[in-house]
Amino acid sequence: MAKYIVEQSGPLVGEVEISGAKNAALPILAATVLTEGICEINDVPRLRDIDVMCRILRSLGAKVDEDWETHTIKVDGSGISVSEVPYDLVKLMRASIFVMGPLLARLGKASIAQPGGCSIGDRPIDLHAKGLRNLGAKILMSDDLVNASVDTLKGALVYLDFPSVGATENIMMAATLAEGSTTIENAAEEPEIVDLASFLNKMGARIKGAGTDTIRIEGVKALHGTRHAVIPDRIETGTFMVAAAITRGNVLIKNSVPDHVRPVIAKLIECGAVVNDELEGLRVRGDVNRLVATDIKTLPYPGFPTDMQAPFMALLTTVSGTSTVIETVFENRFMHAGELSRLGANIRVNGRTAMVPGDKRPLVGAPVMSTDLRGGAALVLAGLVAKGKTEVSEIYHIERGYEHFVEKLSGLGAKITRVED
């Protein structure tokens, strides 16, 4: 099993280029199932999760060409005829469930292994099912399988009890080919939803309101192939912003969309970091002021992203004063707190609240384990400032979501190497 060896590195300085967003590319690739035409997706990050989605598309009968020189994936879905996604693939990635809506719309049936829980929470799919049922689908859920079928999807009103990102995407995709109009209320507003809607509209869908809490979809008879470039990854952007701040460095983050990372910018400024929106990208400086504590509460977009909670917590272990971190989106997303405490952070967790005591006890390197994707990134960031050497294991979590993480950090002066055990 591979691991990262991270050494105390000093301030990170230089420029880094952000990749395309994994969480936008995944539903967009799933949406190619909706057409018999050819879709070309640009700026796709080369990541394990993307590879799994390509394998799923191939298993359904699509022809998928990956060109990693240009980060382009071409999908020819004319041969799609299989409606099952086996557990072998689903167990590798929960986002496999994204093909449920498109398969229902294209083939009238979908049979997908239950994704099950994961380390950050139970992560049920009841809202996906509720929405698709509203569109007329029959959905049978057993412990290990979700079976969905429909003669004709019919537009309907769908109210989401929570603005789930995945449920909004699944329902929006299915509704593009439904008869009549669909309204999703209390929809998720994340930039990835807007990117998916813009891809679907380029395919001929009629979607309005993506990016607000009410999305209206007028069903059309068929969608056609198109070409689309994925938005930059806002969580990778945020992670490098925190990397600049935690090391008290000065980093220019290129290919970033400032509007997508407003809450991260606001919280970094509250801590005393300096963030400038420059012509070429976002410049983050942690070397100007003494950094101080701030409180964080995760919320659906445009609130502070749950995916940035762990990386930001790493930063808060190094500032002056105690910070409170409240996680409201996932019920069990503090696994990294225990690992950060192995480096000396002394974080106290009580239910959905964590108290982070700050820099009274400087971090000291130790062996730690990634518990999930963003928690793993947090450990790497902490390792950059911990005295001595930090060994981060179970890094396959991190490599699911950060393209060329080691190379990009090294390019800024970080002392990090990937070693095979």
Active centre residues (catalytic): 118
Residue 32 in contact with ligand UD1, rule: CB under 6 A? no
Cβ 371 to ligand UD1, closest distance in Å? 14
Q: Residue 128 or 228: which CB sits closer to ligand UD1?
A: 128
Q: Using CA atoms, how far apart are residues 399 and 369, in angstroms rounded to an integer?
A: 14
Cβ of 392: how many Cβ atoms within 10 Å?
26
Q: Is the peptide bond before 302 cis (omega within 30 degrees of 0)?
A: yes
Q: What angle do CA 261, 175, 109 make, to 5 degrees?
A: 115
Residue 238 in contact with ligand UD1, rule: CB under 6 A? no
Cβ 15 to ligand UD1, closest distance in Å? 26
Mark the segment that binds ligand UD1 (CB under 6 A) among 52-60, 144-152, 159-167, 375-383: 159-167
* CA 327 centroid distance within chain: 16
Cβ 49 to ligand UD1, closest distance in Å? 8
Cβ 190 to ligand UD1, closest distance in Å? 6
Q: Residue 92 or 366: which CB sits closer to ligand UD1?
A: 92
Q: Residue 267 or 285: which CB sits closer to ligand UD1?
A: 267
Which position among 43, 76, 233, 307 is part of the footprint of ligand UD1 (CB under 6 A)? 307
Per-residue binding string, ligand UD1, 126-145, x by CB under 6 A, is xxx-----------------
Mark the segment that binds ligand UD1 (CB under 6 A) among 157-165, 223-231, 264-272, 277-285: 157-165
- Using the structure block, give the residue that is written with the tokens 């239910």: 351
Residue 164 in contact with ligand UD1, rule: CB under 6 A? yes
Distance set, CA 137 to CA 8, 67, 218, 320 (Å): 54, 36, 18, 54
Cβ 64 to ligand UD1, closest distance in Å? 19
Which position among 12, 90, 165, 246 is part of the footprint of ligand UD1 (CB under 6 A)? 165
Residue 48 in contact with ligand UD1, rule: CB under 6 A? no
Q: What angle do CA 22, 235, 311 make, to 5 degrees?
A: 130
Residues 6+ apart with CB under 8 A from 271: 245, 291, 292, 293, 294, 315, 316, 319
Q: Beta 38-42 vs 72-76: how paired, if at all?
A: antiparallel
CB 106, CB 34: distance < 8 Å:
yes
Cβ 42 to ligand UD1, closest distance in Å? 19
Q: Which runs of consecutive H residues, i.e. helices, occur in 351-390? A: 373-385
Residue 330 in contact with ligand UD1, rule: CB under 6 A? yes
Binders in 70-129 for ligand UD1, by CB under 6 A? 95, 121-128
Q: Residue 121 or 362: which CB sits closer to ligand UD1?
A: 121
Residue 329 in contact with ligand UD1, rule: CB under 6 A? yes
Q: Residue 6 or 75: which CB sits closer to ligand UD1?
A: 75
Per-residue binding string, ligand UD1, 166-205, x by CB under 6 A, is xx--------------------x---x-------------
Q: Beta 250-254 vs 281-285: how paired, if at all?
A: antiparallel
* CA 266 centroid distance within chain: 20
Which position among 9, 23, 250, 255 is part of the footprint of ligand UD1 (CB under 6 A)? 23
Residues binding ligand UD1: number (CB under 6 A): 22
Cβ 353 to ligand UD1, closest distance in Å? 16
Q: Which helix (H) or strand (E) holds 315?
A: helix 309-316
245 by DSSP, 3-state: which? helix
Which position among 35, 255, 306, 323 is part of the footprint of ligand UD1 (CB under 6 A)? 306
Q: Residue 306 or 318: which CB sits closer to ligand UD1?
A: 306
Query: Phi then psi for 99, rounded to 5 degrees?
Result: -80, -5
CB 48, CB 400: distance < 8 Å:
yes
Cβ 403 to ligand UD1, closest distance in Å? 15
Distance set, CA 216 to CA 104, 175, 176 (Å): 19, 9, 10
Amino acid at 395: I
Q: Residue 191 or 281: which CB sits closer to ligand UD1?
A: 191
**E strands along 58-98, which residues?**
63-67, 72-76, 84-85
Positions touching ligand UD1 (CB under 6 A) are: 23, 26, 95, 121-128, 162, 164-167, 188, 192, 306-307, 329-330
